[in-house]
Amino acid sequence: MRYRHLGSSDLVVSEIALGSWLTYSGGVERAQAVACVAKAFEVGINFVDTANVYGRGAAETFLGDVLADRPRDSYVLATKLFFPMSNTDRGLSREQVFKQIDASLARLRTDYVDLYQCHRYDPQTPLEETMEALTEVVRQGKARSLGFSEWSAKQIEAALAIPGVEKFVSSQPQYSILWRVIEPEIIDVCARSGISQIVWSPLAQGVLTGKYKPGEAPPPDSRAASESMGTFVGSFLTDEILEAVQRLRPIADRLGISMAQLALAWVLREPNVASAIIGATRPEQVENNAAASGIELDDATLAEIDAAAGSVVQR
């Protein structure tokens, strides 16, 4: 496992991070989830990402339990706030920032998180109010660093322009061979501002593993076949996209790596990406995905990948 610095912070994170969005919020049996976390540590993953809204606190509670016996300095823990936790609790107001950080810390059974992230931009709250509240959270020792997810370049620049507040060190966007919307504007703004990318869905909800075939039903044990986890994969399951993904298979075969490793190595080729978040349901997936760290793709291979993906890429 290789490690990268997270933006301008002093945090050093594994190139592969363990996520908990659809998996450890109830989508995976507890014993399997515990085994996935154990395997992550075994293969050198030190970065765990969650959010208060995942399972309405269930993912944080699970991680609080499973991480309780590990030394706190042995992992980097990230969580988020913004989405509704009740009919009245949502957004990035000063009140919500203070309320949600305390609730997350209680569920996670820790005194601090390493990274506290705004899960989305909140147009209902003045940006200055949000940044000042987050700054207090850092200065109180409840978070070491700050990040955001899916903000526009203008929103990022506006936050960076506010004087006297803590600066963001991370961005969490969707990014994969099939979804390149952050190129080049977001990456450019962030690279110039000491902000790294922590990318979600680098495998396009599992589609880039090649398990879904054009014209065929999803495998019964796959995310797409799961009632609790299959909601978000649908947009990638068109025959056109699945055919493009199958064109990637010979590239991976020639390199002697899995398609998942190819897809993860592709996002990690970008220097501004600090880590790629995986959503594993089985320990062997964690091990396979972690092995993508350190795989380097040459220019000819990157050109092949672009040619194979063709017009299905979202930009």
The catalytic residues are 54
DSSP string, 194-240: T-EEEEB-TTTTTGGGT-S-TTSPPPTTSGGG-TTT-TTTGGG-SHH
Roughly what angle, to the nearest 10 degrees, separates helices 94-108 and 127-139?
40
* The two structure tokens encoding residue 163: 């004087």
Going by the DSSP 8-state scheme, the letter that residue 172 receives in this structure is: -
Residues 203, 196: Cα–Cα separation, whole Å: 19
The neighbouring-strand residues paired with 196 are 170
Task: Confirm if 29 and 281 have CB atoms less than 8 A apart.
Answer: no
Cα 135 to chain centroid, rounded: 23
The DSSP element (H or E) to which 108 belongs, if any, is: helix 94-108
- Contacts for 130 with CB less than 8 Å, ≥ 6 apart: 92, 93, 94, 97, 118, 122
For tokens 């390493």, the residue is 114
- Contacts for 231 with CB less than 8 Å, ≥ 6 apart: none
| Phi and psi angles of residue 81, each rounded to the nearest 5 degrees, phi first | -140, 155
For tokens 């880039």, the residue is 208
Task: Confirm if 2 and 44 have CB atoms less than 8 A apart.
Answer: no
The neighbouring-strand residues paired with 145 are 115
Cα 154 to chain centroid, rounded: 22
Picking from 88, 96, 100, the residue whose alpha carbon sits closest to that of residue 60 is 100
Picking from 133, 65, 129, the residue whose alpha carbon sits closest to that of residue 99 is 133
Task: Confirm if 147 and 115 have CB atoms less than 8 A apart.
Answer: yes
